Structure 1
Amino acid sequence: MAGTRTPADEAREAVVEAALGKLDLDAKTRLLAGQDMWSLPALPEIGLRSLVMSDGPIGVRGVRWTADDPSVALPSPTALAAAWDPELAHRAGVLLAQEARRKGVHVLLAPTVNLHRSPLGGRHFEAYSEDPYLTGRIGTGYVTGVQEGGVGTTVKHFVANDAETDRFTVDNLISQRTLRELYLAPFEAIVENAHPWGIMTAYNRVNGTTMTEHRYLVKEILRGEWGFDGFNVSDWTAARSTTGAIEGGLDAAMPGPKTVYGDALAQAVRDGEVEEPTVDAAVRNVLRLAARVGILDGAEPVVAEAQLPSPVDGEALAREIARRSFVLVRNENDALPLKPNGTVALLGAAARDARVLGGGSAIVFPPHIVSPLDGLTAALPEGTLGYAVGADPNTELADADKGFELRAVCRDAAGQVIGTASAPSGQLRWMGADLPEGVIHDTLHTVELTGTFTPRDSGQHTFGIKGLGAFTLTVDGTTYYDDVQRPLKDDPFSSFFGAPEPRARVDLTAGTPVEVSLTYVVSFAENRSLKVIGFSLVHQEPQRDPDELIAEAVELARTAGAAVIVVATTERVESEGYDRTNLQLPGRQDDLVHAVAAVNPNTVVIVNSGSPVELPWRDEVAAVLLGWFPGQEGGAALADVLTGTHEPGGRLPTTWGSLTDAPVTQVVPDNGELPYTEGVFIGYRAWEKAARTPSYPFGHGLGYTDWTYDEIAADDTDGTSVTVRVTNSGARHGREVVQVYLAPADAPAETNTNTDTDPQRPARWLAGFAGVEAGPGESVEVIVKLPRRAFEIWDETANSWAVVKGSYEIQAGRSIADRRVATTINV
């Protein structure tokens, strides 16, 4: 199904075969094993340079985990999907390829195209949607853009890594129909339409087999049916068996140098456990990737230097994506945009200290962050904006950045300094050979984070440690902790994603600097494949009485023309490594909104989260704007939208509702197994089947103008397509996302059950969409093509796709719940 090879492809393939023929077994198996955290080894004998990979998906961190090496930070993947614009995703990919080249990166470990199966998934901010079609369209745009920039992608996590609980071992039990129609569907669409150069296989098992060894899904479906010819890399530390992985179709085992490949794989061949041609197939895939990105001598890269896209302004694109992603879900009495020259009370700790990205491997370090307070201060007339904290969602310590000036000092066992490095965020992540100049692991004994802290508030400050091992913490000359922090569970990333531990409480005076020091005694677990030094100095400002903070905010809001409250989740709520236990906003933020809404009828709430949260006050406020994790320019984009210079352009890529009403919530395995008993009914499909009304339905989103849907007409002469005419019936220019849903005309929507010859299907599903723009009073027509797959199901008996014949209603509208025009066709 993948694209036909061109003469250029054939030429690269000839170079690959020639290079492969020059390698002995040891060189081949060495190439398949990571040499460190982020790269595969160079093989000078065939002119192969080292292949470098980097985490995404909103930026390119590169091989160094430090704020000293900043990266453009785009809005979260849920935000990108909320724009419902594959071309915008394409432009994001072009920018990220530009960033990758700047950092010497050949392959971006992105995008994540797992689905929002349950709202409790802790990493959903890193995936696009609950809908496989929307996910595939956005992912296709993203992959195409990155690879047009000459950089590879690894579409991940193949497959069904839809939650974080026990992600290393969970066995997800999924029917073949459910796999095909939902979880494999985005990968299939991207392979067919974007031809990605890489796939990353997940930690979890599917129907009894771990994904790094899943011969059926990788070799028979991904490579066999779909024709994927890229390389298959493991998620980090996911590969567990030498013979199982190579026979299952895994090409590269990361990270290194200690992996199941390398020497272990060479020995397996010599022992007769693995055939050398099986190794050759994996090496061929890696060499093909190297040829495509231009690091194999004699092979022309897919994108030559002269063909690279024009440079992209990262700040401008980050700002555009953010405002295009904001979803206005409520706007009573035209509360937004804000009235010119009115006074505004800006409230919420997240308005001052913005959370612009999710936690875990998605973290990058932007060169700057524009907070909502920054953005509105710049946009509003002087003297019209007031600010109060109101409520702080951060109930635990965060990395020591604001007010800290720190450096890392490396010492040997005798206490002699052997190297230094800056530590601008209070966070150290040194992986493999990524050490300060002159420092080697064999002589490194301690690392000290040392410097000064100048508090911005007086009171009791809390200091702590995030990491595992022996630490000594000293503040202002007093040692508060000298002991060992141990893991709560056996998770190789627990030092990165685990909770910070408070270890010192010190009374300090605003503006008066104090000395701080955190010393770590270096140790490496014998069973770890990579030497990693990862820990953080963490800090929390004085905690004032929550009722007092809310009272201050209420008084500021009482006399303001409008109150704008920014509420947010935290890294402890949404991050890689764990799932959510509820959908509530942390801290006293709900209480703040209730109190302010009671005194100011023009209360506007900005929800700063990567995925759904409950909004118990949504009917009490004038407007609700979902801002996702908006990236480094989020505050500037927010000011654009609130002041009305730009329209909020987003539509919901996933359903928002309460946990009590959510139809699919189980993410915790039972005896290691997690059955996907809901089958094809997740997201809006499940909400409709259960006849439950969410807070805000899939596809919902308001703008600053109104739209009338005039008519719809179907045409099946050249594949099925529909033409929809809409009119901008409002007073200003705007953009509309025309959404097309397909509904079996004779299916009872209440139960979604049909006869034996017409299998159980959702009441309707997304089959196409398109964005249109128009001025006031202007009518426009848009043609939306409906893919053949929209009319098919996976027939488990025949083990193939089958068109379900019958009558279908094609419905077009503004959301799954706001369908305006319809027509009927027979298939």
Structure 2
Amino acid sequence: MSDIDVEKTLSQLKLLEKIGLLAGIDFWHTFPVERLDVPSLRFSDGPNGVRGTKFFNAVPSACFANGTALAATFNKDLLFKAGSLMAEEAKHKSVHVILGPTTNMARGPNGGRGFESFSDDPYLAGICSASIINGIQDDDIAATIKHFVGNDLEDQRNSSDSIITDRALREIYLEPFRLAVKYSNPKAFMTGYNKVNGEHVSQSEKIIQKILREEWNWDGTVMSDWFGTYTTETAIKNGLDIEMPGPTKFRDQDLVSHMVNTKELHINHINDRVRNVLKLVKATAKSGVKENGPEDDKNNTSKTSGFLRQLSGESIVLLKNNNNLLPLNPKESIAVIGPNAKSHAYCGGGSASITPYYNVSPYDGISAKLSSPPPYTVGAYAHKALPGLGPFINNSVTGKKGFNVKFFYDKEKKRQFDEVNVTQSCFFLGDYKHPDLKTNLFYLEITGDLEIEEDGEYEFGLAVVGTGVINVDGNLAVANNKDQKKGEFFFNNGTVEEKNKVKLSKGTHKVEVNFGSAPTYTLLNDDVVDFGGGGALNIGFAKVIDGKEEIDNAVKLAKSVDKVVLSIGLNQEWESEGYDRKDLDLPLLTNDLVAAVLEANPNTVVVNQSGTPVEFPWLSKANALVQAWFGGNEAGNAIADVLFGDINPSERGRVLYGEDIFIGYRYYEKLQRKVAFPFGYGLSYTKFEYSKLKVSVNESKDLLSVSVDVKNIGDITGSEVVQVYIGAQEPSIIRPVKELKGFEKVELKSNKLTTVKFDLSLKDSTSFWDEYQEQWSSEAGKYDVFVAKSSDDIELIESFDIKESKLWVGL
């Protein structure tokens, strides 16, 4: 892909070519202008890994730990390397622009995409974003920071109006994006679906033009979220460069050219938008990524696996470790129990999800540390929908795990046009294409041999966007083609999961699923984002168990061993784009299972996998608790590394934003309320001592310098996250007690000492947004520097003075 001269190319473009550049041509590609060597760029999700161009039957990819896990590393250098690996993955998928990172605020624990974001602290979110963006763009792949701004929930997300005070908008919700611009300069922004204070962000002159472009002096490309464009003229005039995906709904060439020719839309607005699109083309020219290039899985190497394992391992947080229950000794008798032990909670759901190269379960990782596989029982189910049928199916065509899938033009299955073999149980066909298919109406026959290991009752489930039935041994097992009911599947577009129980004997059983694509669907829902295309289906399966009997089995097993690893949590069913969690409960009978196992064996290590908080009603009785997140390909190995001590853990509609600036720890500290695990908290297998805090200020250079000595006073090597918080002693307005303004992660051998230094922006560290002046205000007065292990564990305090008040805007 050759470099271009932006202004020269702009001057040579014809009007229809300019208009073409303002929208995608399909789900993932921009408009090309071959005669001027303007290539078609390829976009791809995203935050957890680079998928490429297909949801269905995708080329496998590296799956990274989720956003909150990445932030829990508190390791800027490691996140830069993560960004570099994302860029490498992009090149293997012929991707020019990665749609990530996600940088929204985790306003509350229920948000469906909270796992995708980094934190409820804007400084941590901004610095994590900047580190990953720098890693991506260091290799000439463009990063797209999203979802700009206030897109912090999933309910009614394309019409939701986030009512935010100007101060909270500036100090909390815009701040991570501002910091990302200041420290990394992302090449692209993606707007959210939502409104802010009555106006859709994707067409907001105030947010896109006034703040992002003029105040922050940012000079890149703004694209809509997929189907997140709502007008033609307004969005073009107010700064939305690219409507995604294509074909366009609002930027038809005939319509927009008519508006230009009749002077309803000024040509300068078109030129401004096109200029920014060409800048994105230029920014990726040195990447070496070919236009419409191939996609491969050749980056599935030991080097990639090793890094993903390190990344996931550093994210894991040790929350409790009474009586030094951890690390585990492989010579002890250890049982593994729990719904997450053999499942693969490697990522959250929605557009962040990918087909991984492979995935390692916690049970797999623990087994690899022992001389023989440990005894196991599930204890309790925790699935929201039935687990995928795929792992239990053999493909009679390939002889491997998975399904054979045939595509037909007609319901009678007389005219076949495609055939694939897949291992997945979830089929998202919104971006399915075939050169001979001219409409979205088609039919699937999905077949496989189900291997049953013991006689019993088994449950099958089917959720669809379209219509479908499941037949087992020629008999109807599940029907989801009439009287369909609305559910949460597929970005909130799909039906409920229709289920039915079938008695099966040990042996092989023939399974056939017949599916009609989206045009056969009997439900319509205008309150969600419609991804169009061929629809979707999800095929579920599980053995029917008695919940009480299975908990009794777990108790019996727990009593028979020295120690138990109890693997619990959520997965991509519970945390997903498209809907918010209704509560903070662990699924189904999980809490009953945990309470029973803790009673049976106090030497139980509870490992929780979730992207956002869950309630632990049994917390006081647990002696060891580990937060393990959604850890990507290497989740199971990383969990085992921490449990056995190979890694020493370290720290982790109309909506009124009524909490204002008091989000997260700011709220609890202001009300002087204790929490179980404060922001930034995490235990280690060693101990650290802080001393000699020094603080100095240079107002003319906008510099706040902080240094502190840190010593490892324990017996083993470990890492410590040194956190710096700033608080104003006598502010003129209500402010948080303190706010995170710096962090560094250091690794020290036993009995070693290092001096940790911070050079911080003085104005960034001390300012609040003055709504009357409509500027940032750094007030003269006395401020405290808190050096801490967490927001509630302050080690040292020192103060400094600002002599002159200052108002400012920009970066």
Residue aligned with 2:795, SS: strand
Whether 2:741 is the aligned partner of 1:771: answer no
Question: What is the Cα deviation at residue 544 of structure 1?
Answer: 0.9
Q: Distance in 2 between matches of 1:701 and 1:587?
A: 28
Note if contact 1:428-1:533 (Cα within 8 Å) is conserved in structure 2.
Answer: no
Whether 2:387 is the aligned partner of 1:398: answer yes
Q: Which residue of 2 aligns with 1:592?
A: 593
Q: Distance in 1 between matches of 2:604 and 2:115?
A: 26
In structure 2, relative to structure 1, the CA distance for the partners of 1:265 and 1:513 (3 Å cut) is same
Q: Which residue of 1 aligns with 2:564?
A: 563
Could you tell which deviates more after superposition, 717-726 or 136-145? 717-726
Q: Which residue of 1 aligns with 2:648?
A: 647
Could you tell which deviates more after superposition, 209-218 or 736-745? 736-745
Q: Which residue of 1 aligns with 2:769?
A: 794
In structure 2, relative to structure 1, the CA distance for the partners of 1:490 and 1:257 (3 Å cut) is farther
Q: Which residue of 2 aligns with 1:739?
A: 723
Note if contact 2:213-2:219 (Cα within 8 Å) is conserved in structure 1.
Answer: yes
The residue correspondences of 1:213-612 to structure 2 (distance < 5 A) are 213-263=203-253, 264-294=255-285, 313-382=303-372, 385-404=374-393, 405-413=402-410, 415-432=414-431, 434-436=432-434, 439-442=436-439, 445-481=442-478, 484=481, 494=490, 498=494, 500-521=496-517, 523=519, 532-612=533-613
* 1:509 counterpart letter in structure 2: S
Q: Distance in 2 between matches of 1:530 and 1:284?
A: 28
Residue aligned with 2:619, SS: coil
In structure 2, relative to structure 1, the CA distance for the partners of 1:427 and 1:269 (3 Å cut) is same
In structure 2, relative to structure 1, the CA distance for the partners of 1:631 and 1:457 (3 Å cut) is farther
Note if contact 2:486-2:494 (Cα within 8 Å) is conserved in structure 1.
Answer: no
In structure 2, relative to structure 1, the CA distance for the partners of 1:457 and 1:286 (3 Å cut) is farther
Q: Which residue of 1 aligns with 2:673?
A: 692
Unaligned runs of 5+ in 1: 1-10, 302-308, 653-671, 747-753
* 1:796 counterpart letter in structure 2: E
In structure 2, relative to structure 1, the CA distance for the partners of 1:36 and 1:536 (3 Å cut) is same
Cα deviations across residues 238-265 of structure 1 (Å, max 9, x unaligned)?
Answer: 1010011101200000111132113232
Question: What is the Cα deviation at residue 521 of structure 1?
Answer: 4.6
Q: Which residue of 2 aligns with 1:664?
A: none
Q: Distance in 2 between matches of 1:427 and 1:329?
A: 34
Note if contact 1:518-1:537 (Cα within 8 Å) is conserved in structure 2.
Answer: no
Q: Distance in 1 between matches of 2:473 and 2:358?
A: 29
Question: What is the Cα deviation at residue 488 of structure 1?
Answer: 6.0
Q: Which residue of 1 aligns with 2:661?
A: 680
Note if contact 1:34-1:259 (Cα within 8 Å) is conserved in structure 2.
Answer: no
Aligned equivalent of 2:16, options 13, 22, 26: 26
Question: What is the Cα deviation at residue 335 of structure 1?
Answer: 0.6
In structure 2, relative to structure 1, the CA distance for the partners of 1:621 and 1:450 (3 Å cut) is same
Cα deviations across residues 563-586 of structure 1 (Å, max 9, x unaligned)?
Answer: 110111133421111111211100
In structure 2, relative to structure 1, the CA distance for the partners of 1:349 and 1:490 (3 Å cut) is closer
Question: What is the Cα deviation at residue 189 of structure 1?
Answer: 0.8
Cα deviations across residues 647-671 of structure 1 (Å, max 9, x unaligned)?
Answer: 113x22xxxxxxxxxxxxxxxxxxx
Question: What is the Cα deviation at residue 516 of structure 1?
Answer: 2.2
Note if contact 2:44-2:98 (Cα within 8 Å) is conserved in structure 1.
Answer: yes
Q: Distance in 1 between matches of 2:317 and 2:287?
A: 45
Whether 2:31 is the aligned partner of 1:41: answer yes
Q: Which residue of 2 aligns with 1:630?
A: 631
* 1:826 counterpart letter in structure 2: D
* 2:383 counterpart letter in structure 1: N
Cα deviations across residues 366-405 of structure 1 (Å, max 9, x unaligned)?
Answer: 121111111111111226x221111111142233321123
Aligned equivalent of 1:140, options 124, 130, 133: 130
Residue aligned with 1:34, SS: coil
Note if contact 1:68-1:422 (Cα within 8 Å) is conserved in structure 2.
Answer: no
Q: Which residue of 2 aligns with 1:84?
A: 74
Whether 2:713 is the aligned partner of 1:723: answer no
In structure 2, relative to structure 1, the CA distance for the partners of 1:25 and 1:489 (3 Å cut) is farther
Q: Distance in 2 between matches of 1:777 and 1:357?
A: 38
TM-score calculated relative to the size of structure 2 = 0.91
Residue aligned with 1:361, SS: helix
* 1:552 counterpart letter in structure 2: N
Q: Distance in 1 between matches of 2:612 and 2:543?
A: 29
Note if contact 2:384-2:574 (Cα within 8 Å) is conserved in structure 1.
Answer: no
Whether 2:163 is the aligned partner of 1:163: answer no
Note if contact 1:412-1:443 (Cα within 8 Å) is conserved in structure 2.
Answer: no
* 1:135 counterpart letter in structure 2: A
TM-score calculated relative to the size of structure 1 = 0.90
Note if contact 2:326-2:624 (Cα within 8 Å) is conserved in structure 1.
Answer: yes
Note if contact 2:678-2:792 (Cα within 8 Å) is conserved in structure 1.
Answer: yes
Sequence identity of aligned pairs in percent?
34
Question: What is the Cα deviation at residue 499 of structure 1?
Answer: 5.6
Note if contact 1:328-1:701 (Cα within 8 Å) is conserved in structure 2.
Answer: yes
* 2:790 counterpart letter in structure 1: S
Residue aligned with 1:392, SS: coil
In structure 2, relative to structure 1, the CA distance for the partners of 1:558 and 1:465 (3 Å cut) is same
* 1:428 counterpart letter in structure 2: F
Q: Distance in 2 between matches of 1:279 and 1:191?
A: 25
* 1:761 counterpart letter in structure 2: R
Note if contact 1:68-1:424 (Cα within 8 Å) is conserved in structure 2.
Answer: no
Note if contact 1:468-1:487 (Cα within 8 Å) is conserved in structure 2.
Answer: no
Question: What is the Cα deviation at residue 587 of structure 1?
Answer: 1.3
Residue aligned with 1:350, SS: coil
Q: Distance in 1 between matches of 2:721 and 2:531?
A: 47
In structure 2, relative to structure 1, the CA distance for the partners of 1:734 and 1:503 (3 Å cut) is closer
Q: Distance in 2 between matches of 1:621 and 1:529?
A: 44
Note if contact 1:107-1:151 (Cα within 8 Å) is conserved in structure 2.
Answer: yes
Question: What is the Cα deviation at residue 675 of structure 1?
Answer: 1.6
The residue correspondences of 1:39-188 to structure 2 (distance < 5 A) are 39-188=29-178
In structure 2, relative to structure 1, the CA distance for the partners of 1:337 and 1:48 (3 Å cut) is same
Note if contact 1:522-1:533 (Cα within 8 Å) is conserved in structure 2.
Answer: yes
Question: What is the Cα deviation at residue 785 of structure 1?
Answer: 2.2
Question: What is the Cα deviation at residue 223 of structure 1?
Answer: 0.5
Q: Distance in 2 between matches of 1:823 and 1:269?
A: 61
* 2:133 counterpart letter in structure 1: V
Cα deviations across residues 717-758 of structure 1 (Å, max 9, x unaligned)?
Answer: 461111111111111011100011112234xxxxxxx6xxx1
* 2:747 counterpart letter in structure 1: E
Q: Which residue of 2 aligns with 1:760?
A: 734
Q: Distance in 2 between matches of 1:192 and 1:502?
A: 50
User: Aligned pairs, how many?
Assistant: 773
Question: What is the Cα deviation at residue 495 of structure 1?
Answer: 6.4
Superposed CA RMSD: 2.5
Note if contact 1:457-1:541 (Cα within 8 Å) is conserved in structure 2.
Answer: no
Q: Distance in 1 between matches of 2:132 and 2:287?
A: 25
Unaligned runs of 5+ in 2: 292-298, 394-401, 803-811
